[in-house]
Chain A
Amino acid sequence: MTVLRPFHLMSRTRDLLPLLLNLPAVILLLAFIAYPIGISFWMSLHRYNLRRPDQVYFHGLENYATILASSEFWNALWISLYFTFMAVLLVIVIAMAIALLLHESFRGRGVVRALLLIPWAIPGVVNGLMWVGLLGDYGAFNAMLEDSVAAVNYLFGINIVYTGMASPFVALNAAIGAHVWRSVPFACIIFLAAIQAIPTEQYRAARVDGATSWNRFRFITLPWLYHAVLVVAIFETMNGFRAFDLIYALTGGGPGDATHVIAWQTYKEAFARLDFGGANAYSYLITLITMTLAIIYIRLLYRRGLVQG
């Protein structure tokens, strides 16, 4: 049919407009994310130490071999995995608890809601500095921790020596705590929105069916929140692996290598040892790890039919 033709043309040009609208964003991201990632890979295949600028040459996967053989890498990877796992878990639990609270109606809810964003508004570095103070020798939390350790020692007749941030265990978990504290509000916002989207009839029906409040949470709230939990898990996994500014300000990677998360390790490799080749190999490994995790999550979302194009 001849009448068909103009519309075919129109639909061609119609595809052009949305691409055009995406162009600025795509250019920016290509230039400052995709291109650097490519370069990063290329550099990771080179020997490239700023201390020896005359000795830049291609040496294949050697950087990767060196890294995979180094205990530093595996140490950093385990610390990051522990850090991320704990952070994701704690953020989900705490944010969920606060979101459920904010969903209840009580006098003063507005106040709690207004205070919710405080941790989020605080820059990571400043958050680190804050916790340095809180957990430092004169810090309020340090005092509380000291007192509680003393109490435990007394109660159980044991003798745990509390050394504050000098203890690797305390330092790593304190870093996790500080990271979680700052991450809770964002997750909470997402959970709150998801909870509010649950139709109230569902609860009424469950109540009529005689479900206890725990069962209502278990069989209505949680399934409805599945998507939100996954989204938060994605965000927090990525955030956990890239935690840098907090570590920079709070522990500086220490004590020893207790808080050498992988982002910190990469930073050290690049700007302390000036080994750009090795650092890029590091960063490439981080990218691969987070991408893999992201793909797993996204596939989970797809399986549930929750992401649409």
Chain B
Amino acid sequence: MWRRASLYIYALAAVIYLTLPFAWVAAVSFMPEREVTQQRWWPEEPTIGNYSLYFDVEGQSADVGAAIARQFPRAIINSLIIGSAVMLLNLTCGSLAAYALARLPFRGNLLLLLFYLGSRSVPGVAIMIPMYLLMRSYGLLDTHLSVILSHTTFTLPFTIWILKGYFQTVPLDLERAARVDGCTPLGALVRVFLPVTTPGLVAVGIFAFIASWGEFLFALLFTTTIASRPVTVLASDFAQELQVPFTVIAAGGVLVILLPLVLSFLFQRLIIQGIGGSVTG
């Protein structure tokens, strides 16, 4: 009985820790400005006024920050384009490499593995200047492509690492059975291996997407206008405008978070199993 009770207290503490910061911001986003100054936890008179600025397509509002807020839908589309491309590149390049590492014994596989691990340990700030100059020299500044490429390179090593672990959990006999059943090596890959590993692929795909959605440094460096600016950069631009009330910033934050949050809820099981299992496996 005691054990039960303390377990629930423990669980409650965990829930509070994990949710409270975000819950407060979400609550604030529904508060009228004056309620924030009263240090409230819950909106007395909830309003969606803070959000209206972001959907002010006609450009009616003359509020502070309205000019930036109006760009939100566009920025979300930019983030979507970038995130999806990063996800696809990760899945294609990552699964090919991971398949080779997991399945085909070959000379130099350890070297490659260390190369991937090493790339992963290079911090973004360490390569930002050369990357910036590189993108500039190819005329890629302020394009989606520059952000996509940079995001792909820093997510890819992790993707390969995870997928290698995940692929190794699939019994080799499955592909052998497919070969005996008449598949070519490629056929066995496409008809048996890929369907069986779909959960893992989805998990790393979502992972790469969310990582790209949340990345800031390269997005900040490479994008200058709304033609390519993703939503994280816009959110920080917005917050740096003086005078913008925190309630409105909070609403913007909630909008930025919404998609990754929904994705992580939907694919929670896959992510926890797929990522956790193969990192330690």
Q: How many residues belonging to B are interface residues under a CB distance threshold of 8 Å?
A: 99
Q: Which of B25, B112, B122 has the most CB of A within 10 A?
A: B122
B144 to chain A: closest CB distance in Å?
15
Contact with B along A179-221 (1 / 0, CB 8 A): 0010011100110111001000000000000000000000000
Contact in complex: A40, B127 (CB < 8 Å)? yes
Contact in complex: A244, B124 (CB < 8 Å)? yes
Partner of B275, one of A40, A140, A189: A189
| A121-B125 contact in complex given A132-B239, A181-B21, A231-B279, C-beta closer than 8 Å | no
Inter-chain contact total with CB atoms closer than 8 Å: 297
Q: Quick one: which of B208-249 are within 8 Å of A by CB? A: 210, 213-217, 220-221, 232-233, 235-236, 239, 246, 249
Q: How many residues belonging to A are interface residues under a CB distance threshold of 8 Å?
A: 96
**CB of B22 closer than 8 Å to a CB of A:** yes
Q: Quick one: which of A14-32 are within 8 Å of B by CB? A: 14-15, 17-19, 21-22, 24-26, 28-29, 31-32
**CB of B46 closer than 8 Å to a CB of A:** no
Contact in complex: B276, A32 (CB < 8 Å)? no
**CB of B109 closer than 8 Å to a CB of A:** yes
**CB of B19 closer than 8 Å to a CB of A:** yes
| A22-B261 contact in complex given A118-B18, A298-B117, C-beta closer than 8 Å | no
Minimum CB distance partner of A227 in chain B:
B280
Q: For residue A245, which residues in chain B have a CB less than 8 angstroms away from its CB? A: 215-217, 232
Contact in complex: B119, A287 (CB < 8 Å)? no
Contact in complex: A143, B106 (CB < 8 Å)? no
Partner of B263, one of A24, A121, A123: A121
Q: How far is the CA of A194 from the CA of B281 in the complex (A)?
A: 8
**CB of A130 closer than 8 Å to a CB of B:** yes
**CB of B100 closer than 8 Å to a CB of A:** yes
Q: Quick one: which of A132-172 are within 8 Å of B by CB? A: 132-134, 136, 138-141, 143
Binding-face segment, B6-14, B58-66, B175-183, B191-199:
B6-14
| A112-B11 contact in complex given A32-B153, A192-B276, C-beta closer than 8 Å | yes
Q: Which of A121, A234, A242, A245 has the most CB of B within 10 A?
A: A121
B172 to chain A: closest CB distance in Å?
15
Minimum CB distance partner of B41 in chain A:
A140
Q: For residue A309, which residues in chain B have a CB less than 8 angstroms away from its CB? A: 109-110, 113
Contact in complex: A291, B236 (CB < 8 Å)? no
Contact in complex: B106, A193 (CB < 8 Å)? no
Contact in complex: B152, A290 (CB < 8 Å)? no
A104 to chain B: closest CB distance in Å?
6
**CB of B55 closer than 8 Å to a CB of A:** no
Contact in complex: A118, B128 (CB < 8 Å)? no
| A117-B271 contact in complex given A18-B100, A294-B117, C-beta closer than 8 Å | yes
A140 to chain B: closest CB distance in Å?
5
| A286-B126 contact in complex given A39-B133, A114-B268, A119-B22, C-beta closer than 8 Å | yes
**CB of B82 closer than 8 Å to a CB of A:** no
Contact with A along B151-192 (1 / 0, CB 8 A): 011101100100000000000000000000000000000000
**CB of A67 closer than 8 Å to a CB of B:** no
A226 to chain B: closest CB distance in Å?
10
Q: For residue A193, which residues in chain B have a CB less than 8 angstroms away from its CB? A: 272-273, 275-277, 279-281
Q: For residue B214, which residues in chain A have a CB less than 8 angstroms away from its CB? A: 121-126
Partner of A143, one of B39, B97, B113, B265: B39
Minimum CB distance partner of B35 in chain A:
A138
Binding-face segment, A2-10, A53-61, A263-271:
A263-271
Q: For residue A256, which residues in chain B have a CB less than 8 angstroms away from its CB? A: none
Q: How far is the CA of A106 from the CA of B7 in the complex (A)?
A: 8
Contact in complex: A263, B125 (CB < 8 Å)? yes
Q: Quick one: which of A93-138 are within 8 Å of B by CB? A: 94, 97-98, 101, 104, 106, 108-109, 111-126, 129-134, 136, 138
Q: For residue B153, which residues in chain A have a CB less than 8 angstroms away from its CB? A: 28-29, 31-33
Contact in complex: B109, A18 (CB < 8 Å)? yes
Contact in complex: B19, A241 (CB < 8 Å)? no
| A36-B130 contact in complex given A18-B101, A117-B271, A126-B256, C-beta closer than 8 Å | yes
Contact in complex: A21, B97 (CB < 8 Å)? yes
| A133-B28 contact in complex given A138-B37, A189-B275, C-beta closer than 8 Å | yes
**CB of B77 closer than 8 Å to a CB of A:** no
Q: How far is the CA of A130 from the CA of B215 in the complex (A)?
A: 16
Q: For residue A222, which residues in chain B have a CB less than 8 angstroms away from its CB? A: none
Minimum CB distance partner of B134 in chain A:
A36
Minimum CB distance partner of B261 in chain A:
A121
Contact in complex: A283, B127 (CB < 8 Å)? yes
Q: For residue A276, which residues in chain B have a CB less than 8 angstroms away from its CB? A: 129
| A126-B272 contact in complex given A138-B36, A228-B280, C-beta closer than 8 Å | no
Additional A-B contact list (20), CB under 8 Å, known A124-B232, A125-B235: A22-B101, A28-B149, A28-B152, A28-B156, A32-B134, A32-B153, A37-B127, A101-B7, A129-B249, A134-B21, A134-B25, A138-B39, A141-B21, A192-B272, A193-B276, A197-B280, A276-B129, A287-B122, A290-B122, A291-B118
15 A-B pairs whose Cβ atoms sit less than 8 Å apart in the complex: A19-B100, A37-B127, A39-B134, A119-B18, A122-B257, A131-B21, A133-B25, A141-B21, A184-B18, A193-B275, A231-B280, A267-B128, A283-B123, A286-B125, A291-B118
Closest 7 CB pairs of A and B: A193-B276, A123-B214, A309-B110, A18-B100, A36-B130, A245-B216, A283-B126
